[in-house]
Amino acid sequence: MRKEAKRRRYSLFYNHLKNIEESEGGLDKFTKSYKTFGVNQLADGGIYCKEWAPGAEAVFLAGDFNGWNPSSHPYKKLEYGKWELFMPPEDGQSPVPHGSKLKVVIRAQNGALLYRISPWARYVVRDEDKVNYDWVHWNPPQSYIHKNPSPKRLKSLRIYESHVGIASPEGKVASYKNFTYNVLPRIKDLGYNCVQLMAIMEHAYYASFGYQVTSFFAASSRYGTPDDLKEMIDVAHSMGITVLLDVVHSHASKNSEDGLNQFDGTDSCFFHSGYRGNHQLWDSRLFDYANWEVLRFLLSNLRMWIEDYRFDGFRFDGVTSMLYHHHGIGTGFSGDYNEYFGLHVDEDALCYLMLANHMINTLHPECITIAEDVSGMPALCRPVAEGGGGFDYRLAMAIPDKWIQIIKELKDEDWNMGNIVHTLTNRRCEEKYIAYAESHDQALVGDKTLAFRLMDAEMYTNMSVLMPLTPVIDRGIQLHKMIRLITHALGGESYLNFMGNEFGHPEWLDFPRIGNNESYHYARRQFNLTEDDLLRYKFLNAFDRDMNKLEERFGWLASPQAYVSEKHESNKVIAFERAGLIFIFNFHPYQSYVDYRVGIETPGKYKILLDSDAGEYGGHQRLDHNTEYFSEQYPHNYRPNSIMVYIPSRVALVLHNVDIPK
């Protein structure tokens, strides 16, 4: 059944691709539709407009340029529900000035006139005294010109998951400019080589975290202009930082006045009609991936973000919801293959994802794609030519859940080393995973970050170095470092961290809304805490930086999976080798071990490279980093050699063979 399903999926993809070649002149031309649909400036100053509105009786363009006359500029009806309008230049100038407001006017089947924002609109803004967004024609005399080439495709990613609007200690919506000049240097210093940007696609509701998109081709104006975003990406590239967009093609906002919903006056258009077109948990609309024009819209959307803004790839949100007709609602996934093959799989959505990855890989092979899928769909990260989904990476979503469960439910003495190792290494062969201890999900109000779970209210009172180090803060700081390092080194082929969590940000994330009196107090990141020498946040920040710098030097994320030589339940010790390094973790809350034997593959002289107990990381400095550990030809735990190491309680160590220069 699995082979038959893979053949059927590939056949569906191949037939779509063949039809695009035959009917549209090829995938290249088909996905350039963002240059013809919407309102586009011509070289001679004229304007060409095109829309797909199959349910409309008539279509018009209105705006500041014509005094908002709803009928003076009618579109011409074409085949297949398309409409077009050409407006010649006026004295060599554009008939629609830059910065003027526009609306597509739809005459619905019931005769009503509907004022809509074009689905292809590039810039929308909301005045403070208004609820809905307005479409603004964006055609500046001089657009931003990128100065720096995109970084070369990375062998592995150290991702800093970011939200532009909260990237400031101040209680306000931060800007692209702020991110460019204040946050990017911080990301670079911390050793991250990739930034993943959330909430860029325009969304009317700020508190949706960007996941209720209203304008798919518009960069959010609440942070600045399109050129400000282009500059931000350009500066990131000058630093060698890859920039990914968190793209939401799994659903869309239900807004109609400033969104896609009911664009042509019907319940369908871009979406399934009726029950199938609505997500019952997210209260949003679901795309009809079998529709030709929906494929044009979504594929062109990806290409626009790559070619206009120079994004280096995408993290596809909500892939699980796309893959299954049940959208993952009320469904558990055990790994049984029957869960991934059958009528419950939405093969039209899967085909779209295959087309998207094929297009990106063909036209922009330097770009990266990541799937957010909790189900574990097999072959999602295998090439399309193999019948796979074509993604480069998938998120290891079981890992943060495991850490939450352990911290929440178990005493330190009851932590199961084998279960931790299993969760960190349980991934599909030859599919790349992005490991993370926590993401934005854990930072949101209603949940807790690892730091908050470990230290809770004491973070407000006992993080000063002038205060005695309490057992709660001591435990929290040590485990925070250990959890992040073992996840980084053992959990996947890339690593992700949400902004602020690297230093144990003390508060949750909550956007302004009626329930909190529209407060911005929790919609910010207090980076200033790491710059205060009297606060212990600096220790966690320093450890995160040095952990990333060490990976940059040795490249364990791009190395084969680690060999785990020890997971000792009573001693609470885990040891493994990866990229020529030895990683040792002692999770025991109070037991230290003198001359603890650890099995190794390569003989030689070893020294400590990273010690979570070091003073600069807020530890107790119980180890001498000048100590040399000489291997013995003494087999241990199925390794031909071994070393004897002093391992204090609650410590993580990374050792390097100094006989092998790096």
Instruction: Give the H/E segment covering residue 408.
Output: helix 398-409
What distance in Å separates the CA atoms of residue 200 and residue 184, rounded to the nearest whole number?
16
Q: H or E element: which one contains 573? A: strand 573-578
- From the list 312, 372, 392, 613, the catalytic residue is 372
Output the CA–CA distances (angstroms, integers) from residue 321 to 99, 358, 389, in the order listed.
37, 21, 15
Tell me phi and psi for residue 218, to 5 degrees: -105, 130
The structure tokens listed for 364 are: 């922009």
Q: Count Cβ atoms within 10 A of the Cβ of residue 602 and give its class: 0-12 exposed, 13-18 middle, 19 or more buried.
A: middle
CA torsion sign for 141, 142, 144, 149 is positive
Tokens read off for 644: 């004897």
Instruction: Please tell me the number of Cα atoms within 13 Å of 612 on its side-chain side.
Output: 29
Q: Whole-angstrom Cα distance, residue 206 to residue 520?
A: 11
Q: Which of 317, 346, 544, 546 is catalytic?
A: 317
Q: What is the DSSP string of 524-553?
A: S--GGGGG-TTBTHHHHHHHHHHHHHHHHH
Q: What is the DSSP string of 84-137?
A: EEEE--BTTB-SS-TT-EEEEEEE-TTS-EEEE--TT-S-EE--TT-SS-EEE-
372 given a catalytic annotation:
yes
Active site residue 308: no
Strand (E) or helix (H) holding 47: strand 47-52
Q: Which residues contact 572 (CB under 8 A, 6 or more apart)?
A: 413, 415, 417, 586, 587, 588, 591
Q: Give the residue numbers annotated as catalytic, written as ranges.
A: 317, 372
